[in-house]
Structure formats: C-alpha cells, structure tokens
Amino acid sequence: MNPLLKEIGHNPLLWLLAFVPVVFVTQKLTPAAHTLLFLLAVLAIVPLAALLSHATESVAAKTGDAVGGLLNATLGNLTELVIAFTAVRAGQYMLVKASIAGAIVTNTLFMLGASFLLGGLKHHVQEFNRVNARLQAGLLFLATVALLVPSAVSEADSAPAAAFAQHLSVGLSVLLIVAYGLGLVFTLKTHREIFGSPEHGEGDEAPWPLGLALATLAGVTVLVALVSEVFVESVQGAALELGMTPAFVGFIVVALVGGAAEMASAFSGARKNRLDLSVGIALGSAAQIALFVAPVLVLLSYVIGPTPMSIQFWPGAVVMILLSTMTAAMVTNSGRSAWFIGALALLVYATFAMTLYLLPPRTP
Amino acid sequence: MNPLLKEIGHNPLLWLLAFVPVVFVTQKLTPAAHTLLFLLAVLAIVPLAALLSHATESVAAKTGDAVGGLLNATLGNLTELVIAFTAVRAGQYMLVKASIAGAIVTNTLFMLGASFLLGGLKHHVQEFNRVNARLQAGLLFLATVALLVPSAVSEADSAPAAAFAQHLSVGLSVLLIVAYGLGLVFTLKTHREIFGSPEHGEGDEAPWPLGLALATLAGVTVLVALVSEVFVESVQGAALELGMTPAFVGFIVVALVGGAAEMASAFSGARKNRLDLSVGIALGSAAQIALFVAPVLVLLSYVIGPTPMSIQFWPGAVVMILLSTMTAAMVTNSGRSAWFIGALALLVYATFAMTLYLLPPRTP
Amino acid sequence: MNPLLKEIGHNPLLWLLAFVPVVFVTQKLTPAAHTLLFLLAVLAIVPLAALLSHATESVAAKTGDAVGGLLNATLGNLTELVIAFTAVRAGQYMLVKASIAGAIVTNTLFMLGASFLLGGLKHHVQEFNRVNARLQAGLLFLATVALLVPSAVSEADSAPAAAFAQHLSVGLSVLLIVAYGLGLVFTLKTHREIFGSPEHGEGDEAPWPLGLALATLAGVTVLVALVSEVFVESVQGAALELGMTPAFVGFIVVALVGGAAEMASAFSGARKNRLDLSVGIALGSAAQIALFVAPVLVLLSYVIGPTPMSIQFWPGAVVMILLSTMTAAMVTNSGRSAWFIGALALLVYATFAMTLYLLPPRTP
C-alpha cells in the first residue's frame, strides 16, 4: 500500500478523502440535512474520482496500448457512470438526463475552454493535433443528431407515441455504441499512427503495481456508488434550500463535480504546453459520455430501472449540446489556440450557466 | 445498335431491363397487386437509370467541355426528375417533396459516406480536391436556407397566409435556379481551372456514337416515364402492405432507387482511388436536386399540377437536410478521407432511416 | 474648415448634406407626410454617416494604435447607435430590435458578399487574413448563442416569466460587453501582431486636424440625432404607404441606410484588392453591433426607456442571425475568395429580403 499512501501524502486533493466517512456518519445522524449531505458528498466524490482515474491509468499502462486505451476509454467516466447508475435505479430520469447533457456541455465548453485559457495565459500561441479534435467533434455531432432527430421528426406528427420513442431509443442507443466502438477501432488500431497516443502521456507519475491498481479500482467504485446514493438523494432538497434551480444543479454542479479529476489532468496538460492531452481528455470524455455512457444507461434502464428510459432529451438540453458541439468544432478547427479562444468557449458556457441559474422553476 | 448490345452483354445490371416489359404486363393483368408492381417497377427503373446516365455521358463527351458539363449537369438527375414529374401530375405533392428531400439526404450522406467507406477499406488515406466539395456544400447550404427561412419566419406570425407561401415559393425557386446557373458559370467557365473536370473522368468505357446516344436518351426517358407512373401509383399501397411508413418509402426507398446508377459510378470511382469523382457525383447531384430539380418542379406545378405546389417542406425534412449539409461540410472539410469518415456519414444516415422507419403513421 | 469643405467638394456623396436642412423645414411644414419625410431623412442620414465615419478615423489616426482602435471600434457604429437610441427613447422596441438584427445580417451577408463580388469581378482570386475573420465569426457566434439560448431554454418551460427575461437580459448584456472588451484586448494588445491593423489602412485621404475632427464628431452626432428622430417617427407610416412590411423596413431599409458609409469603404477596399479591410469592416461592424450596441441599448433602456427592453428577439430574427453567422464562417473559412463566393452570400441575403418583403403583416 506504499504507493497509494505516498500518492495521498503527495496530492492535497486526496486529503478530501477524509470526507468519505464523514458523509456516512452524517447521513446516519441527520438524514434530513439535505444541503449538508449534498456538500459533504460533493467533497467526498472529488478525491474518489481522482483515485479512480489514477487507478485506471495504472491498469491501462500495464496492458498493451490497444487494450489499455480501451480500458482507459471505458473506465474514464466511471464516476459519471456510477452516479448516473444510482440515479437510474432510483428512477430519477430527469436528473440522469440533466447530468448526461451537463457533462457533455461542461467537458466540451468548460474543460476545453479553461484548458485553452490557462494554457494561453502561459504560452503565447499553442498548437495541437487537430485530427483528433475533428474526430471527437464528428462523434459528438453524430450523437447530437441522434438526440435531435427523433424530436424534430416526431414533433410534426403531434402523436408522440410512447412505443415509437421506446423502440427508437433502443435502436439509436445500439447505433451510438457501434459508432463509439468503430471510433476506438479507428483510433487505436487501423489509423493509430495519425492520433499518436496522447491519452497515455498523462503518467508523469510512476504507475502503481497491477494488484494495487485493481484493488483500488474495485474498492473506490464501491465507495463512489455509496456516496453517489447520498448525493442523488440529497441533491434536489439541497437545490431547493440553496435557491438553485434543479436544472442548474443537474447541468452544472453535478457535471463539475463528476469531472473534477479529469479537469485537473486537462488543465495541468495545458499549462505544460501539452494541449493534445487536454483536447483529448475534454472532447474524448464528452464523446464517451454521449456515445457510450448515455446509451448504456438507456439499455440498463430496461434491467434496473422502474420503467424504460427514453433517449429523448428536453429540447433546451439538445440545443445546448448542439451549440457546444458547434463551438468545439469552431475553436479546434485551426489546430492553434490562444487565450481568447478559451475565453470565448468559457463565455458560451457562462451563457448557458446564467440562463439555467435564472430559469424560473416549473410550477407543477 | 452494336455498342448498346455490347454494353448490355457486359454489364449485369442491365440484364434487369427484362423487368421493363414484365412491369407493363403485370399491371395489365393484376392492377391491384401494389407490392408486386412496386417491386417490379423498382427493378425496372434501376437499369433504365443506368442506361440514361451512360447515354448522357456519351452526349456530353461529344460536345465541348462547357456544353457537355451543362448537359451532364442538367440531365444527370433525369430519373429523379421524371419520377417526380409523374408524381406532380398526379398531385401527390407529399411524395414529391419526400422524394426530393430524400434524394438530397441520400446523396449527401449515403452516397458520399459509402464512397468514403468503400474507398477507405481499400486505401489507407485518400485525398480529394476540397474546393469542389466546398462549393457544392455552399450551394446546398443556400438551398437549405431557402427551405428553412420561410417557415422560421412565418411561424412566428401564426398566419401562414396561402398567398404568401405561393408568391414566396415562386420567388425562391427562381432565386435557386439563378444560383445554380451562376454555379455552372463559375465551375465551367470563369474558374474552371480550379475544379479540374472530374465529371468527365467517368468514361473509362468508350462513348457511344452521338445518334445512338440521343436515341437511347429519348427512348429510355419515355420508358422511365411509363414505369414511374406504375411506381407512383403503387408505392403507397405497397408501403402499407410491407408495413413501411410512407415517409420511409418516399425518403429512403425512392431515393435509393432513383440514385442507383449514380451510386454505381461513385462507388467504383472511390474503389479506384478517384475520390474527386465520387465527391463530385454525390454532392453535385444533391446540389442539383436542391437547386434545379426542386424549383423546376415548383414552377412546373403551375402548368401541369392540379394546384400550385409550395416550396415549404415538412419541418422534420428541413432539419434532416440541414443536418446532412452540415455533415457534408464537416466530412469534406479537410480534403482527406479514411474509412471511419464514411462510417460516420453512414451512421448519421442510419439515424434518419431508423427514425423514419419507426415513425408511427399519422392518424387522419 | 478648409479640409472639411475640400472633402465635401471632393466627395459627391456629401452633396446630399443639402437634404439635412430640407428635412427639418419639411417636418415643420407638413408633419404628416410620412413617406416624404422618411425618404428625405434617409437621404440626409447617408452623408452624415459618411462624415461621422471620416471624423472618427481622423481622431483614431491621431491617437496611438490601441486607443485609436478602441475609438474606431466604439464610434464606428455611431449612426446605428444614435438611430437606435432615439427609437429606445420613443419605446419603439420592435423597431430597435429589427434594426439591430437587420444591421448584423446586412453587414454579415450584404456588405461582405458585395465586397467579395465586386472584388472578384476585378480580381480572379483574392486572399485575405482569415484569422481576423475567424475571430469576428467567433464573437458573432457567441452573440447568437446569447440571443438563442434564453428562448430555447425557457420555451420548454412555457412560463416565460417576465422577471426571468429581465434579469437574464441584463446578465447576458454584461457578458457580451465583457466578451467584446476581451476581443479588443486580444486584437489590439496581446496578439496584435497576428491581426495586422487593417482597420487603420483606410486612410488614403490625409486625416483632418484633431480640432476639426472633434468638432465634426460633436456637431454631426447632434444632426444625426435630430434627423433620426424624424426617421423613427415617419418610418412606420411610410412603410404602410409604400406597401412594405414593417419587418422589411426595419430589417433591410434601416440597415442599408445606417451602414451606407461603411459599405462605401468596404467596397472600395475590395476593388483595390485589400480584402482584409473589407472583411474587417463587414464582420467587425456586425460583431460590434451584436456585442456592444445591442447590449448597451438593453442597459440604457433602464435609464432612458419607458420600460426595460429585453434581449430576447423574435425567433425568425434569431434564425436569420444564426444562418448569417454560419454563412460568414463558411465563406471566410478558406481565406480565399472569388466572385461566386460573394454571389452566394448575396443570394442568402436575397432569400431573407424576399421572405420579409412578402411576409403578410400581422393582423392584430
């Protein structure tokens, strides 16, 4: 357990692990203190996400490039997946969808924008491999189409037959997972020489031994699942008490919490002038959520949810995802970046956040 | 008649010509067998379209580049035009519009995507002249705007005055034809050196003598018109019997049938690493339908149709055309292609096809 | 006063200054002759706008680059600002918003398109610095998002709470002004070497002495304000009498009048093969109206208007702004231009103008 403890001693973010037991004790003592539980759960998830991400990288480093990349790709958003899994089991589909859409938008605009801004404040002009950015933007665009077309087409029909929505959701979910798989084959196998392997460059730190990494992976996943349960239970009560709209909490707060660990990696890459890494994490993660996490949750809802979950999103969320994808395509188009490009993406994000924050809550 | 018979002996696709007489005989005997007639008409149209396309190229090869290009461009979608003409005369405007929108979407996504995929499976990376792709994407974008703006603007007014829609349809049709004409002047006359002349590269086969080509052109056009009549009459009954929605038939089936011959050329070009040819056929054909065939049909409806046809499309169709145009712009932007780019375009198309296939039929 | 008189003698456009006194006399004599007053006001505003623009450049030339650029940028759309200011004071928010949206669309499509067309008719292919075009397109995109998101998001809520719209309008206005300011810092300070300083290249003519320039600035602003008052009062009556829809007048006529002086500069730059200048004026001016003039008017409406003005636009206007931004991004993407590119942008503009011209007036 030496490397784990050493890592904890080294990385102040991990000191927040102390909040994990605090969450469980507090829940036992005062189960109705929503805001307190919500804040404690947020503080506990952040270091767990960081550990999970580190363990995943260590496992990926041990296996070959192709398997490692696959592992990294499928486990990279484990935190989001576990949070959403808990919410699906509770039947809170509004929260699930808000957090999916929020994660896509936050990764695309906030993580990418802040990377460009932080990198640009240190380096005058930065360059990156735009081929990867284009691929991820293309995948995101496909996902946006899959979210957009059903409502655009059925809207005109004014008979939003439930059976139609369900069949279509299953079909589109399978299609998105296929697209994601083909994307992995393309980047990790047939055309890997074009993409380099920026996702592996993260490991400045020496990787952990495999046993430790796997044990951490298993243990931390259980902890994240338990804390997520507290989080999902308390989030709506907390939103009410804090005067935030549920849309703002689901879209912005959950996404920032779930992505905290990845953001730390992306920002540090940008400061070190390794923008390929930042772009890969930000857009790769967004594409993963849209083409892997979201459809898997739709399919899982048939097994673990109270009712099937459709893939149809609230129109406002679809518009924001579409605009985020367009912004990502625009700001990565030239393969060069400066601080203002990052500021622009952050301002688009600020527009969304401001609108959601001020949105009047629906009257039931 | 030697070259024609030689061509038929050479090209197995043309053996389907045997179905042309079968269609007429079957219609006489069992006029109510919609599904059978529909399938026979489909099988008969495919070889006729191939002949028509070959004859057009032969005529184009005889005349100079400019006149030839014009001929090729205006006769290239003759099959679609004749099918749609028959439907306009029958007043089946829903079918006309579905097949126009479907042809644009199918050429932009399916023909382009399958070309990239088939070419990419053989060649690691392929390059093409992106100037032409950009021009065609620009023309398609203009057409999309013309389809989009009337409904976007009048929607807010909630008084969709019929007179407004009619005047606007005529005005916009003239505008699109002017744009198409200017595009021809640009590519064939003032800036032809930028575009090369990929459209002429098709003729690996020796062209036919002019007399034969013209006679074929005339004879086959008449045959296509007669078969189209059977097709248009049987398509809706067949859709019902086959359990397909009319939207799916109009959008997907008719478009695939009408474009079969061009697709054969585009795919063979891609396999031979002549991607300029494939991109030119796919996007050029889509632009032609949007800026020439569609507006000509609107104007013709005043002369041959029971009532004037407007240029306003079903909102779902406009959304799909817009997304297709954006996809085309995205995948051709870099001037390079690999198999995954094609797969991406095909997956966007699959999203549309799946949605239309599952769409519940409108209850009247 | 020598240079001013010399300029007037030199520039036939300025002979229209004779209409300034005519406007005031006519208003005194026949205050109800809406159409006459409207036409006279148009004729009087055009030369005043030209003078204003010349005076601004002279002041900008005297100060350093950074301050000069700032001045040029903030005073460049003074005419539009004064017209809109007058309309805000009169509470004519529909006219204000139509003229803002119209100015953005007209500068983006008409001014840019006509520059490309006029330049392209003289020069076979023209090149320009696409970095600046990208930046301005990015700013325009941000503004479009800010106009689009509130309605897209609140639409679903069906409770368009007035308080929400107001708070959001103030927040988004501040955000847009911040974005505009950051854009100035980026182009004029931190990364000025990338952008050159095309905006200063205009001065073929020797600049005026500072005193004359400042006096002209002050005097002409007052005159524009007075004539604008006549314009705003007469425009709706004139629209009725001329059989034009208010939307067409606000969107097209006012925008063409307000931008006349800038257009003269942009077109002359394009003819002289200085396309950087034309692109800078057209897109820079559009971005300025969207990110500076519009939000300033929203904030000003709290002080000088009868009620607060929101930043929410008529959906049709938002769609046109979005399409214009996409067109601008598309046509400037390659950094090269030919006549057809300009024709394409003009045809998109013609689509808008035609639709607005034929739009049936709302029945109350």
Respond yes or no on whether ipTM tops 0.90. no
Structure tokens given for A277: 């890494």
Q: Which region among A100-109, A245-254, B199-208, C9-18 has the lowest average model confidence (pLDDT)?
A: B199-208
Contact A339 C186 (CB under 8 A): yes
Three-state SS for B337? strand
Tell me the per-residue pLDDT of B171-197, one tens digit each, with 9 for 90 and over.
999 999 999 999 988 988 888 877 764
Mean pLDDT within B155-173: 73
Yes or no, beta carbons of A351 and C134 under 8 Å apart: no
Confidence band of B14 (pLDDT split at 50, 70, 90): confident
Task: Give C341→chain A minimum CA distance, Å.
Answer: 20
> Residue A315 is nearest to which of C137, C152, C191, comparing CB atoms?
C152
| B133 close to C (CB below 8 A) | no
B145 vs B318: CA distance, rounded Å:
9
Report whether B63 contacts B71 (CB < 8 A): yes
In chain C, what is the straight-line distance between the N-terminal and C-terminal CA atoms, in Å?
A: 53
With CA atoms as reference, the chain C residue closest to A331 would be C138
Instruction: List CB contacts of B67: < 8 A, sequence separation 6 or more.
Output: none
Q: How far apart are CA C309 and CA C306, in angstroms?
A: 9
A44 touches chain C (CB under 8 A): no
Tell me, yes or no, if B174 comes closer than 8 A to chain C by beta carbon: no
Q: C103, C75, C104: which is closest to C224 by C-alpha?
A: C75
- Mean residue pLDDT across chain A: 83
Residue B71 is predicted with a pLDDT of 67
Question: What does the pLDDT read at residue A70?
Answer: 62
Residues of chain C in contact with residue A326, where contact means CB-CB under 8 angstroms, are: 141
Say if CB A227 and CB A45 are below 8 A apart. yes
Q: Which residues from C are below 8 Å from B168, CB to CB?
A: 354-355, 358
Let me know: does A20 contact A44? Beta carbons within 8 Å: yes
Q: Is C3 on the interface with A (CB under 8 A)?
A: no
More confident of the two residues A291 and A157? A291
> Where does the pLDDT of residue A179 fall: very low under 50, low under 70, confident under 90, or very high at 90 and above?
very high
- The helix (H) or strand (E) run that includes residue B127 is strand B126-127
Chain A residues close to B341, C-beta within 8 Å: 138
Query: Residue A239: is its pLDDT beyond 50?
Result: yes
Q: Are C239 and C87 in contact (CB under 8 A)?
A: no
| Nearest-CB residue to A175 (from B354, B356, B359) | B354
Tokens of B191: 């800036």
Shortest distance between the Cα of C171 and any Cα of chain A, in A, equals: 7
Distance (Å) of CA C114 to CA A65, C213, C348: 53, 30, 12
What pLDDT does residue A93 have?
Answer: 85
State yes or no: pLDDT of B73 exceeds 80.
Answer: no
Closest of B97, B95, B112 to residue B348, by C-alpha: B112
- Tell me, what amino acid is at B134? R
Q: Which of C358, C359, C362, C363 is the best substitution to test chain B (most B C-beta atoms within 10 A)?
A: C358
- B352 → chain A, closest CA residue: A149
pLDDT (0 to 100) of residue B114: 96
Chain B residues in contact with A163 by the CB 8 A cut-off are 360
- B179 close to C (CB below 8 A): yes
Q: Are B79 and B290 in contact (CB under 8 A)?
A: no
Regarding predicted confidence, which is higher, A353 or B77? Answer: A353
Label residues A265-296 b or e (16+ Cβ within 10 Å = b).
Answer: bbbbbbeeebbbbbbbbbbbbbbbbbbbbbbb
Which residue did the predictor score with more confidence, A2 or C185? C185
C-beta atoms of C138 and A341 within 8 A? yes
CA separation for the pair C245, C249 (Å, rounded): 6
Per-residue model confidence as pLDDT tens digits over A7-16: 777 777 788 8
Query: Closest Cα to residue A134, out of A336, A344, A332, A345?
Result: A332
Distance CA A87, CA A285 (A): 20
> Long-range contact list for C2-9, CB < 8 A, 24+ apart?
C3/C206, C3/C208, C3/C209, C3/C212, C4/C208, C4/C212, C4/C216, C7/C54, C7/C205
pLDDT at B155: 57
Q: Which residues on chain B are in Cβ contact (under 8 Å) with A137?
A: 330
CA of B356 to nearest chain A CA: how many angstroms apart? 8
Mean pLDDT lowest for which of A200-214, B33-47, C33-47? A200-214
By Cβ distance, the residue of C137, C153, C168 closest to A316 is C153
Convert chain C into a string of H (helix), E (strand) and C (coil). CHHHHHHHHHCHHHHHHHHHHHHHHHHHHCCCCHHHHHHHHHHHHHHHHHHHHHHHHHHHHHCCHHHHHHHHHHHCCHHHHHHHHHHHHCCCHHHHHHHHHHHHHHHHHHHHHHHHHHHHHHCCCEECCHHHHHHHHHHHHHHHHHHHHHHHHHHCCCCCCHHHHHHHHHHHHHHHHHHHHHHHHHHHHHCHHHHCCHHHCCCCCCCCCHHHHHHHHHHHHHHHHHHHHHHHHHHHHHHHHHCCCHHHHHHHHHHHHHCHHHHHHHHHHHHCCCHHHHHHHHHHHHHHHHHHHHHHHHHHHHHHCCCCCCCCCCHHHHHHHHHHHHHHHHHHCCCEECHHHHHHHHHHHHHHHHHHHHCCCCCC
Nearest beta carbon to residue A359 from set C137, C157, C186: C157
Residue to test with chain A: of B108, B351, B352, B363, most A Cβ within 10 A: B351
Could you tell me if C315 and C151 are in contact, meaning their C-beta atoms sit under 8 angstroms apart?
Answer: yes
Q: Can you read off the two tokens belonging to residue B227?
A: 């078969």
CB-based contact, C348 to chain B, within 8 Å: yes
Q: What's the Cα-to-Cα distance from A120 to each of A280, B291, C106, C186, C191, rounded to whole Å? A: 17, 44, 34, 11, 11
- Encoded amino acid at B273, one letter: N
Residues of chain A contacting C164 with CB distance shorter than 8 Å: 358-360
Taking the C-alpha atoms of residue C245 and residue A59, their distance in angstroms, rounded to an integer, is: 67
Could B339 and A190 be called an inter-chain contact, meaning their C-beta atoms sit closer than 8 Å?
yes
**pLDDT higher than 50, residue A364:** no
- Chain A residue whose CA is closest to C139: A344
The arithmetic mean of pLDDT across residues B150-166, rounded, is 66
Give the bridge partners for B337, in sequence order.
Answer: B126
The residue ranges of chain C whose pLDDT is under 50 are 156-158, 197-203, 363-364
Within its chain, how far is the Cα of B194 from the centroid? 25
- Give the count of beta carbons closer than 10 Å to the beta carbon of residue A124: 12
User: Which chain B residue's Cα is nearest to C345?
Assistant: B142
Give the least confident one: A312-326, B232-246, C101-115: B232-246
Q: Give A364's contacts (C-beta < 8 A, 6+ positions apart).
A: none
Instruction: Supply the angle between the helices A275-288 and A315-332 in degrees, to the nearest 10.
Output: 160
Q: Which residues contact C230 (CB under 8 A, 6 or more apart)?
A: C23, C24, C27, C37, C40, C41
Mutation for testing the B interface, residue in C354, C357, C363 having most B CBs under 10 Å: C354
Q: Is A283 helix (H, G, I), strand (E, B) or coil?
A: helix
Choose between A173 and B281: higher pLDDT: A173
| Max Cα-Cα span within chain C | 62
Strand partners, B126: B337
Which amino acid would we find at residue B38?
F
List the single residue in C125, C320, C331 with the smallest CB-CB distance to B149. Answer: C320
For residue B127, what are the β-bridge partners? B336
Q: Does A347 touch chain C (CB under 8 A)?
A: yes
Handedness of CA B128, B131, B134, B135 (dihedral sign): negative
Most confident segment among A340-349, B245-254, C333-342: A340-349
Question: What average pLDDT does the structure give for chain B?
Answer: 83
Helices A260-271, A275-288: inter-axial angle, 10-degree rounding: 160
How far from the centroid of its chain's Cα atoms is residue B250's Cα?
12
Q: How many CB atoms lie within 10 A of CB B21?
A: 10
Answer whether residue B312 shows pLDDT above 80: yes
Q: Which chains touch A (3 or more CB pairs under 8 A)?
A: B, C
Mutate to test the interface with B, among C117, C248, C320, C347 (most CBs of B within 10 A): C347
Residues of A in contact with B130 (CB under 8 A): none
Of A334, A343, A352, the CB nearest to C182: A343
pLDDT at A360: 73
Give me the torsion for CA of C64, C70, C75, C81, rounded to 10°: -170
Q: Say how far apart CA A218 and CA B28 lie, in whole Å.
A: 72
Does residue A204 register a pLDDT over 60?
no
Mean pLDDT of B184-213: 71
Q: For residue range B277-293, what is the model confidence (pLDDT) as tens digits? A: 888 889 988 999 999 99
Model confidence at B157: pLDDT above 60 = no
Facing residue for A319 by CB, picked from C152, C159, C168: C152
- Tell me what pLDDT residue C167 has: 87
Q: Report the pLDDT value the prediction gives residue C364, as an integer from 0 to 100.
A: 37
DSSP string of B296-311, one letter each residue: HHHHHHHHHSSSPPPS
Residue B207: φ, ψ to 5° = -70, 155
Chain C residues near residue A313 by CB distance under 8 angstroms: none
Distance in angstroms (rounded) separating the CA atoms of residues B150 and B311: 9
Task: Check pLDDT > 60 for residue B309.
Answer: yes
User: Helix crossing, A210-242 with A2-10: angle to 10°?
Assistant: 40
Q: For residue C136, which amino acid is it? A: Q
Which of B138, B148, B164 is nearest residue C358 as measured by Cβ atoms?
Answer: B164
